[in-house]
């Protein structure tokens, strides 16, 4: 009987130690939800800026008094979300860490593209309302930025899908 108690005690201790050093599905879900929330802040920032750009693309004048503060706010939101993302610590799992690395690359890209976007907004203001050749250039440049973002986001999504499969997390599209 003592041997059985010692064996069960050892199993409980080993199991406790193993669970301490392994990532639970709950940990992965909580972390995933947190970083997805941060990613959504990047996307919602754009949706608040885009209405200030659309009239110009349609050949109308942009109100600089509204565009400048919107662009400043966009930059502030991007910087805050990126900084908060960098402060996160992924669970101690290779797939979680791989997703985190790609999320940080996505945040870096967002911040780098902010400079490009500011330059494009400057070009917009110099041709206000937009002239066809300038509109074409700005739209092509915005599309190129969007393509880079989509490529990085596809990498993030693939890492997230691998993590979700491992931890049996149902992802919402």
Q: Looking at residue 3, what is its pLDDT? A: 53
* 11 pLDDT more than 80: no
Query: CA distances (Å), 4 to each of 1, 17, 18, 21, in order?
Result: 5, 20, 21, 26
Phi-psi region of 90 (alpha: psi -120 to 50; beta: other; left: phi over 0): beta
Which has more pLDDT, 69 or 4? Answer: 69
Q: Looking at residue 104, what is its pLDDT? A: 95
85 close to 103: Cβ distance less than 8 angstroms: yes
Per-residue pLDDT tens over the stretch 68-116: 999 999 999 999 999 999 999 999 999 999 999 999 999 999 999 999 9
Q: Looking at residue 9, what is its pLDDT? A: 41
Q: Is residue 7 very low, low, confident or very high in pLDDT (cuts 50, 70, 90)?
A: very low
Please tell me the distance from the alpha carbon of residue 31 to that of residue 88, in angstroms, as a whole number: 9
Burial readout 109-143 (b: 16 or more C-beta within 10 A, e: otherwise): bbeebbeebeebbeebeebbebeeebbeebeeebe
Q: Looking at residue 56, what is its pLDDT? A: 87
Cis peptide bond prior to 129, omega within 30° of 0: yes
91 close to 31: Cβ distance less than 8 angstroms: yes
* Domain boundaries along the sequence of the chain: 25-167
Per-residue pLDDT tens over the stretch 22-79: 567 888 888 888 888 888 888 888 888 889 888 988 889 988 899 999 999 999 999 9
| DSSP secondary structure letter of residue 59 | T
Q: Looking at residue 22, what is its pLDDT? A: 52
Say what the pTM is: 0.80
């Amino acid at each position: 009987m003592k041997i059985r108690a010692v064996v069960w005690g050892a199993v409980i201790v080993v199991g406790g130690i193993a669970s301490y050093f392994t990532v639970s599905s709950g940990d992965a879900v909580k972390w995933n939800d947190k970083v997805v929330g941060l990613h959504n802040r990047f996307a919602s920032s754009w949706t608040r800026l885009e209405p200030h750009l659309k009239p110009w693309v349609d050949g109308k004048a942009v109100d600089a008094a509204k565009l400048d503060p919107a662009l400043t706010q966009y930059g502030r939101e991007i910087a805050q979300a990126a900084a908060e993302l960098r402060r996160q610590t992924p669970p101690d799992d290779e797939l979680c860490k791989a997703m985190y690395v790609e999320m940080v690359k996505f945040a870096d890209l967002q911040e780098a593209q902010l400079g490009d976007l500011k330059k494009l907004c400057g070009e917009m203001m110099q041709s206000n309302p937009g002239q066809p050749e300038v509109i074409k250039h700005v739209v092509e440049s915005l599309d190129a930025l969007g393509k880079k973002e989509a490529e990085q986001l596809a990498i993030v999504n693939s890492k997230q899908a691998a993590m979700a499969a491992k931890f049996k997390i149902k992802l919402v599209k």
